[in-house]
A and B are shown apart, each in its own frame.
Chain A
Amino acid sequence: MNVPTDLRYCPSHEWLRIEGDIVTVGISDHAQDELTDVVFVELPEVGRAVDAGDPAAVVESVKAASDIYAPIGGEIIEANPDVESDPSLVNTDPYGKGWIFKVKAKNIEDASSLMDAAAYEAHIS
Chain B
Amino acid sequence: MSDLNRTPLESAHEALGARLVPFAGWYMPVQYSSIIEEHKAVREKVGIFDISHMGQFLVSGANAEAWLNKMLSNDISKLAPGQGQYTIMLNQSGGVIDDLIAYRTDENDYFLVVNASMIGEDLAWLQQHADPEVSLINASEEWAGMAIQGPLSADAFAKVCPDETLPPRNGIATTSSGAIVCRTGYTGEDGFEFFCPAADGISYWEKFIEAGTAPCGLGARDTLRLEVGYPLNGNDLAPDRTPIEAGLGFFCKLDKGEFMGREVLAAQKENGPEVKLTAIQYTSKGPPPRAHYPVLAEDDSVIGELASGALSPSLMTGIGMAYLPVAHSKIGTKVQIDVRGRKFPAEVVKKPFYKK
A binds B: yes
B166 touches A (CB below 8 Å): no
Check A62 against B287 for contact (C-beta < 8 Å).
no
Q: Which residues of A contact B310 (CB under 8 A)?
A: 62
Distance in angstroms between the alpha carbons of A36 and B37 in the assembled complex: 11
**Shortest distance from the beta carbon of A82 to any chain B beta carbon, whole Å:** 15
- Is there contact, CB below 8 Å, between A62 and B290? no
> CA A7 – CA B138 in complex, angstroms?
57
Complex formed: what's the CA distance from A36 to B311 in Å? 14
With a CB–CB cut-off of 8 A, which chain A residues contact B81? Answer: none
A29-72 residues with Cβ-Cβ distance < 8 A to B are: 36-37, 39-40, 42, 58, 60-63, 65
| A37 touching B34 in the complex, CB below 8 Å, given contacts A58-B340, A63-B219 | yes
Task: Indicate whether A62 sits within 8 Å of B340 (C-beta atoms), given known contacts A36-B34, A36-B35, A39-B288.
Answer: no
The reply to whether A65 and B35 contact each other, CB–CB distance below 8 Å, is no
Asked if A65 contacts B36 (CB within 8 A), the reply is no
- CB-CB < 8 A to A39: which residues of B? 36, 288, 311
A54 to chain B, nearest CB (A): 14
- The verdict on B85 contacting chain A, using a C-beta distance below 8 Å, is no
A37-B36, A40-B287, A58-B287 known; A63 and B30 CB under 8 Å? yes
Rounded to whole angstroms, the CA-CA distance of A65 and B342 in the bound complex is 15
Type the 1/0 row for B16-32, where 1 means its CB is closer than 8 Å to any CB of A.
Answer: 00000000000000110
CB nearest neighbor in B for A34:
B19
Taking CB atoms, residues of chain A closer than 8 Å to B36 are 37, 39, 62
A62 & B311 in contact (Cβ 8 Å cutoff): yes
CA distance A65 to B340 in the complex (A): 11
How many A-B Cβ pairs are below 8 Å?
A: 37
B223 is an interface residue with CB less than 8 A from chain A: yes
Q: Does B82 contact A (CB under 8 A)?
A: no
Is the CB of B313 closer than 8 A to any CB of chain A?
yes
**B-side interface residues, number (CB < 8 Å):** 16
A residues less than 8 Å from B288 (CB atoms): 39-40, 60, 62, 65
B290 close to A65 (CB less than 8 A): yes
Contacts of B33 in A (CB 8 A): 36
* List of B residues within 8 angstroms of A63 by Cβ: 30-31, 35, 219
A85-108 vs B: 1/0 string, CB under 8 Å? 000000000000000000000000
Q: Which chain B residues (303-356) contact chain A, with CB distance < 8 Å? A: 310-311, 313, 340
Do residues B287 and A36 form an inter-chain contact, with CB atoms below 8 A? no
**Are A42 and B35 in touch, CB under 8 angstroms?**
no
B35 touches A60 (CB 8 A): no
Residues of A within 8 Å of B290, CB to CB, are: 65
B59 to chain A, nearest CB (A): 36
B288: min CB distance to chain A, Å: 5
Query: Smallest Cβ distance from A31 to chain B, in angstroms?
Result: 14
A39: shortest Cβ distance to chain B, in Å? 5
Closest residue on chain A to residue B219 by CB atoms: A63
Q: Which residues of A contact B219 (CB under 8 A)?
A: 62-63
Q: How far is the CB of A59 from chain B (nearest CB, A)?
A: 10
B290 to A, closest residue via Cβ:
A65
Chain A residues lying within 8 Å of B35, measured Cβ to Cβ, are 36-37, 61-63
A17 to B311, CA, bound (A): 31
Chain A nearest CB, measured from B304 CB (Å) = 20
Q: Which of B218-256 contact A (CB under 8 A)?
A: 219, 223
Q: Chain B contacts of A40 at CB under 8 A?
A: 286-288, 311
Question: B287 — nearest CB in chain A belongs to which residue?
Answer: A40
Show 20 residue pairs from A and B whose CB-CB distance is below 8 angstroms, ordered by the A residue: A36-B31, A36-B34, A36-B35, A37-B34, A37-B36, A39-B36, A39-B288, A39-B311, A40-B286, A40-B288, A58-B340, A60-B288, A61-B35, A62-B35, A62-B36, A62-B313, A63-B30, A65-B287, A65-B288, A65-B290
Question: Measuring CB to CB, which residues of chain B are less than 8 angstroms from any residue of chain A?
Answer: 30-31, 33-36, 219, 223, 286-288, 290, 310-311, 313, 340
Q: 8 tightest A-B contacts by CB? A: A62-B35, A40-B287, A37-B36, A39-B311, A37-B34, A60-B288, A36-B34, A63-B219
Given contacts A36-B31, A62-B288, A65-B290, 18 further A-B contacts (CB under 8 A): A36-B34, A36-B35, A37-B34, A37-B36, A39-B36, A40-B288, A58-B287, A58-B340, A60-B287, A62-B35, A62-B219, A62-B223, A62-B311, A62-B313, A63-B30, A63-B219, A65-B287, A65-B288
